[in-house]
Structure 1
Amino acid sequence: MNSLTSYPEPSEPSAAAGDDLVSPSQAALPSDLTAIHHQLLTLLRAPGQEGAWVSLIDGVGRRIRALVERDADMALYLQVQSAQRVQDHYSSQHALFCAVVVDLCLHHLNVGDAERQSAALATLTMNLSMMELQNELIHRERTPTLDQRRVIDGHAQAGAQLLRQVGVQDPVWLEIVELHHTDPPPETGFAALSPTQRLASVVRRVDVFTAKMSSRRFRAGMPATLAARAACLGPDGRPDVVGSAVIKSLGMYPPGSYVKLASGEVAVVTRRGVKANEPVVASLVGRDGRPLAAATPRDTADRSHAVAGIVRPAEVRGPVPPVRVGVSDRL
């Protein structure tokens, strides 16, 4: 395994994209992520109740980053597909989704391994003090009560204090949690921020971006392109440093999202492409609106199969198991 600081960038797909056999290590990734989420959920529900809680959550962060290193596209595919469904354990699933994206963004920004680990741990625990409330709110249509709003507004500081109480001593981890909902002054550019403020800025932006992509009981999640427009673009319609890192790390159409092709077919994105607007896809629905007998790889660099638009997840009967589209050979 390569160093955690050297993720492979998206590569040019082969002529037989989607037909190659997937290695056992890739095939195991979905079940690995499920096991990681189960451990994360257990730890977040009972902070500090195990003597080695800090060490255990540190291990979860390292396992997530190792899986992203192994196959970032598969990790993204699974998290994007999961976010498109209303989840019983939204808070922990959201933390896991954020941790995957944060680490990819920090790799793009050339952040060192130690800082990336601290950022991963902060991302996993940023909503520790309001986990149950967060899970409750995604199933409710009405706005939070005054008391709930107080909890939401104070959860960053409360979370950092709770982490201190259970033995966290990493100052970068703690400061990111404290700052992850604090916007720096508008006139302060990214380069002028302290190193920890930069990390918090990435976590904050990814938090917003992934939340907009995630479905609630009374609100469908946004397609990635619309979420990016809302979370990553400035008033001038251009992404800033952090917004650009998010878009370049995930592509315009992240794995797991759905697109309409110039041919009229509907496809699911399976991997990022060399160009942000040319992802690797597999068509699911033909131009006549009927499901294809089998998912069919398409080359979006070919004008006849170029991405022509986005498709909202609610318009596709999903989720689409990775085995069906050649992302993995088994669940």
Structure 2
Amino acid sequence: MFVLLPIEEITLGEPLPVDIFDARGELLLRKGQVIRDEHHRDWIAMHRPMLRREDFQAWTFRYNAAIDRALRDNRSLEEIAHVARPMNWQDAGEGVADTRPIDEIWAGLHAGLTLLLHQGEQAQDFLGRLQRLMAYLPQLLRPRIDPSVLVLVQMLYDRRLGYSATHAWLCALLAGEVAASLGWSAERQHSLRCAALTMNLGLARLHDDLARQDAPLSTAQRQAVHQHPLRGEQSLRRLGVQDALWLELVRDHHERQGGLGYPHGRAEVSAPAQLLQLVDVYVARLSPRINRPGLPAPRAARDVYMDASGMTTPLGAALVQVVGLYAPGTYVELASGEIGLVARRGRRAHTPLVFAIVGRDGLPKGEAPLRDTAESAYAVRRAVPAQEVKVRVALPRLLARL
């Protein structure tokens, strides 16, 4: 798979760090060759230059790292604005890890996606900015999927944060991981993640507002909700998206088999659209609102694990296998009487590893021990709603131990 080359960001006369292809996949320039001057660049631009997605992701890591170094060095805004894409690194296929704590990385990604979704069609370089955000995902997934889910679930519980971006990132992570577990192609996984991040493009500001709204939806709000899959698809087409599956998923992410969904009430819905709809529902049910608490994690999992007749669904089973019955970032009460924060999936779906943050005496623990709930003394007694937990979680300290 290829992505569009940001050719205006190429430094003229310096060796290219990647191979460049035309829109048909034919090689235009090899890694190490140079774009000589403006005329040469204009000629390349006429051929709609592309590069491999993995090369783009690795290159973007280098670029973001250069920006981060400039910020840490307290460079002026003018100097930061002139940071160019690096042209002199050796291996475009080797990603560069962001060394910041994982909660800081996710805070930056959340802010970037919030801004992008709110700007919508008015955003400059929408697709390029989206790809740059997504370039972080390889280092945040395996083996760091559990800490990432933990951070994002905790973000769901924080009403100060924009809900739409948190919801989108968690859906993108889970949908991609379930698709990978089912053996779906890398291209299909990528389309799923893109769709998860942009499925509420036509609703982003209202999505944030509704998470804080106590009153029932107004007629205008209900109409906007009903139409947002179509508005999102239309906006993405105008922004230049040509990935047919991505567009289909945004259009159909509220459709349900048997004609029970919206906006068209389709009788048949593709498996990727079913998966995105299932993950969307799961995350929404975990999320608290002003007028209701979030559902306990096992209840949210059960609601997507089984269909209306009580039969297990293959996609629901795959989701539970990926995230467990007790998602990282949710809370549980243990047989020991302690209240814990789920840290990682365990050997079984119902036996996670848990940080005990409140003792049986109801007092916060200074250094939260890690409990294995597969041991009978620390078995999960029940899921605990987030609003019942009054202890402030020192998330960076806990994440450093994972």
Query: TM-score category by the smaller chain?
Result: 0.7 to 0.9
Greater CA deviation, 80-89 or 253-262? 80-89
Query: Distance between the aligned counterparts of 2:122 and 2:206, measured in 1?
Result: 20
Report how far residue 258 of structure 1 moved: 1.1
Q: Secondary structure at the match of 1:269?
A: strand
Q: Secondary structure at the match of 2:172?
A: helix
State how many pairs are aligned. 301
Residue 29, structure 1, aligned to residue 29, structure 2? no
Equivalent in the alignment of 1:207 = 280
Query: Distance between the aligned counterparts of 2:320 and 2:133, measured in 1?
Result: 26
Pairing of 1:54-69 with structure 2 (within 5 A): 54-69=127-142
Q: Select the residue among 226, 229, 233 that pairs with 1:153.
A: 226
Residue 323, structure 1, aligned to residue 396, structure 2? yes
Equivalent in the alignment of 1:92 = 165
Q: Select the residue among 120, 139, 144 that pairs with 2:217.
A: 144
Q: Deviations over 1:63-103 (max 9, x none)?
A: 23441234001101101111123244111121112111111
Q: Secondary structure at the match of 2:158?
A: coil
Residue 114, structure 1, aligned to residue 187, structure 2? yes
Query: Distance between the aligned counterparts of 2:179 and 2:331, measured in 1?
Result: 26
Structure 2 residue identity aligned to 1:176: L
Q: Deviations over 1:254-307 (max 9, x none)?
A: 111111111111111111112111111121122222222320122212111111
Mapped contact 1:129–1:158 kept (Cα < 8 A): yes
Q: Deviations over 1:16-74 (max 9, x none)?
A: xxxxxxxx968622111111112112211223445532122123233234412340011
Mapped contact 1:140–1:217 kept (Cα < 8 A): yes
Residue 237, structure 1, aligned to residue 310, structure 2? yes
Q: Secondary structure at the match of 2:333?
A: strand
Greater CA deviation, 160-169 or 66-75? 66-75
Structure 2 residue identity aligned to 1:218: N
Residue 263, structure 1, aligned to residue 339, structure 2? no
Equivalent in the alignment of 1:10 = none
- Unpaired runs of 5+ residues, structure 2, are 1-53, 55-96, 261-266
Identity, % of aligned pairs?
A: 32
Pairing of 1:153-172 with structure 2 (within 5 A): 153-172=226-245
Q: What is the alpha-carbon root mean square deviation over aligned residues?
A: 2.4
Q: Of the two, which has the highest radius of gyration?
A: 2
Residue 220, structure 1, aligned to residue 220, structure 2? no
Mapped contact 1:65–1:100 kept (Cα < 8 A): no
Query: Distance between the aligned counterparts of 1:270 and 1:52, measured in 2?
Result: 37
Query: Distance between the aligned counterparts of 1:211 and 1:264, measured in 2?
Result: 29
Equivalent in the alignment of 2:175 = 102
Mapped contact 2:101–2:396 kept (Cα < 8 A): no
TM-score calculated relative to the size of structure 1: 0.84
Equivalent in the alignment of 1:82 = 155
Mapped contact 2:155–2:161 kept (Cα < 8 A): no
Equivalent in the alignment of 2:6 = none
